[in-house]
Amino acid sequence: MTSKEYIDMAEKYLVHTYNKFKIVLEKGDGVHLYDVDGKEYLDFASGIAVFALGYNNKEFNDAIKNQVDKLIHTSNLFYNEPASIAAKKVVDVTGLKKVFFTNSGTEAIEGAIKMAKKYAYIRDGHTDHEIIAMEHSFHGRSLGALAVTGTKKYREPFEPMGGVVRFATYNDIDSVKKLINDKTCAIILETVQGEGGIYPAEESFIKEIRKICDEKDIVMICDEIQCGMGRTGTMLAYEQYGIKPDIVTMAKALGCGIPVGAFVAGEKTCESLVPGDHGTTYGGNPLATAAVSTVFDIFEKSDILENVVEVSAYFEEQLDKIVEDFDNVTARRGKGLMQGLVLTTPPSETINKCLENGLIVISAGSDVLRMVPPLVITKHDVDEMIRILRIALA
């Protein structure tokens, strides 16, 4: 079949919720993807920050194949070996207490919200609690995750949402303080905002939120679904601020392509949910948690974090030169290998020109070109990316 035939078939049978690029991808290797026509693309999107280890990693693939031959699913009525091992690794890395495995980042947000509300219910017996979230945030597409997503165009067609959510201005602590009342049970924020335009939290902002939550017995939730798993140079971005949330959500690179997410709770909240409060049929199954466990092993063996720190410094330097050299690029924002360039023209124009020249990048918000490549990229890959980007911007 030709590319056009595959695209026509997809348009006929798939619900149209994505405006897809007119490319049919067939396979990947390392940091490159290939379409059905054989064209090669340097991938600086990694499946929206998912494929941290790059494509066709033999150790990862072999581990998945081995688990498929042993056991894929049991339900959570039974224990399984990979889940126990993966749980310990997640807890050790986060510095928190207990983990619940989900099928996606959205489900991780749902679980985190439920845990925070249940904690508050145990605390005071009330059921009218409120949550403070951030403007321009993105936490997922389900009704619960949409309720705390601070972008009106995503929420509006599906309102009214359940519960009361109040939205503060990201990196403006006074706007947070104005919204706090006796009903506030949780404050949720992305440690680095992704879809909203690649905005890292300011240190004073996130530390003050931690202080407020401690003083008022509010649950602090950090969404690290995109910025976690080493993307900013530490396993979790919040490590760089010297704080720990009460709950952190993870997904994307946690499974490197295998659908899996998690919410991880600290001492304060980890016993809030009890049998009957929450569940999942597929979450934490042997296949998904074998993937999680293997990802952590490869991170350690391959010095992934060291590579992120080294290459991201070089990447930032090259992107800063782009800002200097092009009038249609006004700023760079980001941490580690989660970077954005602010453009004066629609990002789609630059993205399409990059695709023509064999480079995959994506957008964030209405004016940001987003780059979230595999964490195994080299300086040579950065040079090739910058070369193509310059062509596109010109």
pLDDT tens profile 202-215: 999 999 999 999 99
Residue 130, pLDDT score: 97
Residue 200, pLDDT score: 97
Residue 181, pLDDT score: 96
**CB contact at 8 A, 45 and 361:** yes
The CATH number that domain 3-56+303-393 falls under is 3.90.1150.10
**Mean pLDDT throughout 33-42?**
97
Tokens of 305: 């974090």
127-164 per-position pLDDT tens digit: 999 999 999 999 999 999 999 999 989 999 999 887 89
Residue 204, pLDDT score: 98
Residue 163, pLDDT score: 86
Q: Calculate the dihedral angle through the C-alpha atoms of 92, 97, 98, 103, rounding to the nearest 10 degrees.
A: -60
Q: What angle do CA 244, 247, 251 make, to 5 degrees?
A: 105
Q: Domain residue spans in the chain?
A: 3-56+303-393, 71-301
- Mean pLDDT for the chain? 97
Residue 162, pLDDT score: 79
Q: What ranges in 197-303 are assigned the alpha helix state H?
A: 203-216, 286-301
The CATH number that domain 71-301 falls under is 3.40.640.10
Residue 213, pLDDT score: 98
Q: How confident is the model at residue 34 (pLDDT cuts 50, 70, 90)?
A: very high
Q: How confident is the model at residue 303 (pLDDT cuts 50, 70, 90)?
A: very high
Residue 85, pLDDT score: 98
Q: How confident is the model at residue 356 (pLDDT cuts 50, 70, 90)?
A: very high
Question: Do the domains spanning 3-56+303-393 and 71-301 agree at the CATH topology level?
Answer: no
Give me the percent of the chain exceeding a pLDDT of 70.
100
Residue 38, pLDDT score: 95
231-247 per-position pLDDT tens digit: 999 999 999 999 999 99
**CB contact at 8 A, 73 and 279:** no
Neighbours of 310 (CB within 10 A): 14
Tokens of 51: 């494929």
Q: How confident is the model at residue 1 (pLDDT cuts 50, 70, 90)?
A: confident
Using alpha carbons, select from 354, 20, 351, 331 the residue that is nearest to residue 197: 331
Secondary structure letter of residue 181 according to DSSP: -
pTM: 0.96
Does the pLDDT value for residue 4 go beyond 90? Answer: yes
Q: How confident is the model at residue 365 (pLDDT cuts 50, 70, 90)?
A: confident
172-226 per-position pLDDT tens digit: 999 999 999 999 999 999 999 999 999 999 999 999 999 999 999 999 999 999 9
232-289 per-position pLDDT tens digit: 999 999 999 999 999 999 999 999 999 999 999 999 999 999 999 999 999 999 999 9
Q: How confident is the model at residue 91 (pLDDT cuts 50, 70, 90)?
A: very high
Residue 123, pLDDT score: 94
